[in-house]
A and B are shown apart, each in its own frame.
Chain A
């Protein structure tokens, strides 16, 4: 079954058409990459999916596991299993990383009808997952994203993803601001979570991330629509000819 289904999505921001009838179907077990130049609507797409205020669809519909998202607020979508790894993770001064994670995880568990984890069980689990992501305990004691380096912020995003076990994850420009070593750590973290039950949508400007997170499908987003879809080789084509070549051909 398709985990995420976008049907003819149209969206305006400040009276300007940003998404112009975009459709996409993502099945469980798949990794899709959406590539596009600046201003093609990549971030708008991720905010629209996550249900940010002001990013409501003008027409069209989105389904998560067959359930329409149109009447669901951002938090309900998240609890239902939609995760967005932010391009620019937000600082929460004074809010400890561990307590933030625990609140989020237990909220999701409660939603799923699972037992909430007590403090000890949670810390144990979080440490286990964190160590795989080379996230130190010390980082979890700090306030969320405050004073984190670019790499630390992205690792913390993927750690949250690993803890929340979403059905569909959208990674918005996860490679931005990362050096090669950090990119590898983050990608390993993402790859470790690939399985037959979930799906990942990678939104990126550059092809290099796709060397590490190898997608099953690549889509080219331009001017609010997907103009071309293909396999991983399409990303290489972008790398070789730039977006201009593809857009002109389409």
Chain B
């Protein structure tokens, strides 16, 4: 696993500044600035989309115009000027790629700087990766091998062309265009993302992975991911994100939809490290994301694991709708907020089928002046007899200027169900710190160790290679927060 080791080493090298803050000098093709019906048409045209999809986009755009941005989250930011964003940006050399050799070398170097050499990963790590650079998917590796199993793993823009029936059937089926303000916006202007289809009876033989990168200035990233797992299947999917260091805020409004049929299991892991802005809160990504999975089938299972260390503002609630009887939803989250970062994140578990189960483990870490909110909803509907939920929300405070908030909503419409909620708030104690220092660890090593211990229940849910990287990331994002 040379590639993995290299990735780990690269992450190790990272200093206290944001490592991914470089900009790649690529010529990009952009849509005119701003948003209008014409821009929506422009995007659809660029993608050579069928008429139904254009109409769907336009419907979403009209819906979006009639909606208001949500203001219930505990986050504070100036109003976004949606006319000051580029909604489409593609590296100009965007090729039709037959192999990685044809990828723009500049782009490959970018990914190498990010610590994910495509080639090496392809060959050595056995991870199939889709790379989304600004608005377009650059390369999808390992497709042939997956195709032998009947698995479709490709950019969603390509799936629209090659498997329109699947896309048409499922897009918006989990998150309708009217779901919320940012989902409506995404539906109107989404540019790319990943598409995964696992046919009946297939256990995906490798981790599937997408790497998202925002490069262009003033561009938004609106990716759309759709994963469909048919009966008796298993798939594990990872996504990672970075962006260059810029003084302006950039918007990332993604939509991820998961569909799990009978006895299907989808494991979705995220390591989100968008640029968080500087110490005083200048710049950084607004990460306004809608993620939801439908457990449609009996005994289906959807598991969300997220490690959120980046972004100026995170507004994100990966959720599970447990329709199938005996279906299972899980949410494991670590959210780190340092300096001026604001995170309002959590989950929704909607129990509809009988004997459905959900587990929520949320670990929030606040440092600097950061505000970190867990917001979660557990709803047990009338027919969800025998259902169970267990929720545990732990907050760790570092320093005395940050805040942790826990906002759980529990709606139970049947007495034949059990819901448990536990919450704790703690600080890194002086005793713990001194004990580590006395063993020769410096303050940052000690903090990282204690914080990673605090997050352990979540970290162990991550695939091995990601776990190591995520641990380092957490340490890096908290540098300078103690002492």
Q: A92 and B449 in contact (CB under 8 A), knowing A53-B434, A74-B434? A: yes
Q: A103 and B435 in contact (CB under 8 A), knowing A94-B455, A108-B440, A164-B440? A: no
CB distance A104 to B454 under 8 Å? Answer: no
A91 to B436, CA, bound (A): 11
Q: Is B412 an interface residue (CB 8 A)?
A: no
A247 to B329, CA, bound (A): 69
Q: Which B residues from 421 to 471 make CB contacts under 8 A with A?
A: 429-432, 434-443, 445, 449-450, 452-457
A50 to B430, CA, bound (A): 14
CB distance A78 to B438 under 8 Å? Answer: yes
**Which residues in B have their C-beta under 8 angstroms from that of A79?**
440
Q: Is A93 an interface residue (CB 8 A)?
A: yes
CB distance B440 to A52 under 8 Å? Answer: no
**Which residues in B have their C-beta under 8 angstroms from that of A94?**
452-457
A112 to B156, CA, bound (A): 54
Other-chain residue from A75, A90, A103, A111 in contact with B431 (beta carbon distance below 8 A): A90
CB distance B450 to A95 under 8 Å? Answer: yes
The residue in chain B whose Cβ has the minimal distance to the Cβ of A94 is: B453
Q: A104 and B441 in contact (CB under 8 A), knowing A92-B435, A94-B452, A95-B450? A: yes
Chain B contact patch, size range: 20 to 34
CB distance A92 to B450 under 8 Å? Answer: yes
CB distance B454 to A93 under 8 Å? Answer: yes
CB distance A95 to B452 under 8 Å? Answer: yes
The residue in chain B whose Cβ has the minimal distance to the Cβ of A75 is: B437
The residue in chain A whose Cβ has the minimal distance to the Cβ of B442 is: A75
Q: Is A204 an interface residue (CB 8 A)?
A: no
The digit string for A88-114, where 1 denotes a CB below 8 A from any CB of B, is 011111110001100110011001000
CB distance B455 to A104 under 8 Å? Answer: no
The residue in chain A whose Cβ has the minimal distance to the Cβ of B460 is: A94
CB distance B437 to A92 under 8 Å? Answer: no
A160 to B445, CA, bound (A): 17
Query: What is the distance, in angstroms, from A128's C-beta to the closest C-beta of chain B?
Result: 20
**Which residues in A have their C-beta under 8 angstroms from that of B431?**
90
Which 4 A/B pairs are nearest by Cβ-Cβ distance?
A94-B453, A95-B453, A94-B456, A78-B440
Q: Given A78-B437, A92-B432, A94-B456, list of 20 further CB < 8 A pairs?
A: A50-B434, A73-B437, A74-B437, A75-B437, A75-B438, A75-B441, A83-B438, A89-B435, A90-B429, A92-B435, A92-B453, A94-B453, A94-B454, A99-B449, A100-B449, A103-B449, A104-B440, A107-B439, A107-B440, A111-B440
Q: Which residues of A contact B (CB under 8 A)?
A: 50-53, 73-75, 78-79, 83-84, 86, 89-95, 99-100, 103-104, 107-108, 111, 143, 160, 164
For this complex, 17 residue pairs linking A to B, each with C-beta atoms less than 8 Å apart, are: A74-B434, A75-B442, A79-B440, A86-B435, A89-B435, A90-B429, A90-B435, A91-B432, A92-B436, A94-B454, A94-B455, A107-B440, A107-B441, A107-B442, A108-B440, A143-B453, A164-B440
